[in-house]
Amino acid sequence: MATTALNQAIGTLQSHGCFSNSGSHRDSLNASVRLISKGFKVEVGLLRRESYCSRKRSFSLVQASSSQTTVFDAVSSPSKSTSTTKDSPKKSNEAALILIRHGESLWNEKNLFTGCVDVPLTKKGVEEAIEAGKRISNIPVDMIYTSALIRAQMTAMLAMTEHRRKKVPIVMHNESEQAKAWSQIFSEETKKQCIPVVTAWQLNERMYGELQGLNKQETADRYGKEQVHEWRRSYDTPPPNGESLEMCAKRAVAYFKEQIEPQLLAGKNVMIAAHGNSLRSIIMYLDKLTSQEVISLELSTGIPMLYISKEGKFIRRGSPPAPTEAGVYAYTKNLAQYRQKLDEMVH
């Protein structure tokens, strides 16, 4: 294999802008993440919070370290207001966090290592994104973060076509002063009906180095199943000239802490559309998984997962099975009230 310098590759990455439904889920709609760790199996879903409780895990998190960016001022968000609004019935430091891995891409379909190669969704991926949107259609979304890659962006946009609030997701363009100026909105009323979409290369898929474009099965045949599994799932072994999960976490989790966590702490409801490994690293942080536990964390394409951010802690609420699932709204008073408002608006 060629010896491209990793730093060079990461530099390139900076310049441009996963849940397998494995195993025997009793309810496949309910399945979001399957974690098998050191001889015990934890299936996390809406109705399986007890699994995590039984592990006696604490969900407390480190407080966010930096202040909010000004990007979001371009489009106002309901939960920013201190008064009761249509979208956020009650001001609170509680917020919903939806994580979603992109729908199936053309290279997922072909079983090729994709990494930072910018591949679009398949028709099935488009359908998965729409289905995911239905499942979160009653959950408030004030801010959307996606990677710089089209498969995550398509997923976010397609999912939002199903949202009952019918706000318009608007991609923020802050790459230059001109881009910023040329994409301004001059109606406060219109701004209120928009959701800012922030694209960030830091949320990109892990850079897969010299595996990008190779067939996963053929690579396993050539280098051995164990070696390829280590490249794909271990925490600190990078694929040749690529990023390990640890390296991916350095940028993805840092971005989450610096940019996204302050939004959640301010009560904004956030959706993140990203990738198998960038999301694995974020989930590792949210759920305080060890480098051993994360090895077994598998994410399927197009399955949304919900967390509630409250008082600096993240509470995993699994994957909303359907928009009408009563349990979704039993999570918090705020979500129930939000849904009630949506019902009133629609009827």
Ligand X SMILES: O=C(O)[C@@H](CO)OP(=O)(O)O
Q: Which residues are catalytic?
A: 102, 205
* CA 61/CA 262 separation, integer angstroms: 12
Q: Is 264 in the site for ligand X (CB under 6 A)?
A: no
Show the site string, 172-211: x = touches ligand X by CB under 6 A, - = not: ---------------------------------x--x---
Show the site string, 229-248: x = touches ligand X by CB under 6 A, - = not: ---x----------------
**The binder of ligand X chosen from 108, 244, 259, 300 (CB under 6 A):** 108
Q: Are 282 and 256 in contact (CB under 8 A)?
A: yes
Number of residues that bind ligand X (CB under 6 A): 10
Query: Cα-atom radius of gyration of the chain, to the nearest Å?
Result: 19
* CA 240/CA 115 separation, integer angstroms: 13
Q: Is 79 in the site for ligand X (CB under 6 A)?
A: no
> What sign for the dihedral angle of Cα 91, 100, 199, 278?
positive
Q: Strand, coil or helix: what is 252? A: helix
Stretch of 29-37, 66-74, 110-118, 306-314 lying at the interface with ligand X (CB under 6 A): 110-118
**The binder of ligand X chosen from 19, 113, 285, 329 (CB under 6 A):** 113
Q: Is 103 annotated as a binding residue?
A: yes
Q: Are 280 and 75 in contact (CB under 8 A)?
A: no
Q: Is 1 annotated as a binding residue?
A: no
Q: Which is nearer to ligand X, 18 or 195 (CB)?
A: 18
Q: Is 114 in the site for ligand X (CB under 6 A)?
A: yes
Q: Which is nearer to ligand X, 115 or 318 (CB)?
A: 115
- Please give the residues from 6 up to 65 whose contact with ligand X meets the rule CB under 6 A: 18
Closest Cα to residue 276, out of 204, 197, 198?
204
* CA 95/CA 120 separation, integer angstroms: 30
Residues 6+ apart with CB under 8 A from 193: 167, 168
Q: Which is nearer to ligand X, 139 or 289 (CB)?
A: 289
* CA 150/CA 274 separation, integer angstroms: 10
Segments in 16-136 forming alpha helices (H): 49-54, 106-109, 123-135
**The binder of ligand X chosen from 276, 302, 320, 321 (CB under 6 A):** 276
Q: Are 319 and 303 in contact (CB under 8 A)?
A: yes
Question: Binding site residues for substrate, as ranges?
Answer: 101-108, 114-115, 151, 205-208, 216, 232-233, 276-277
| Binding residues for ligand X (CB under 6 A) | 18, 108, 113-115, 205, 208, 232, 276-277
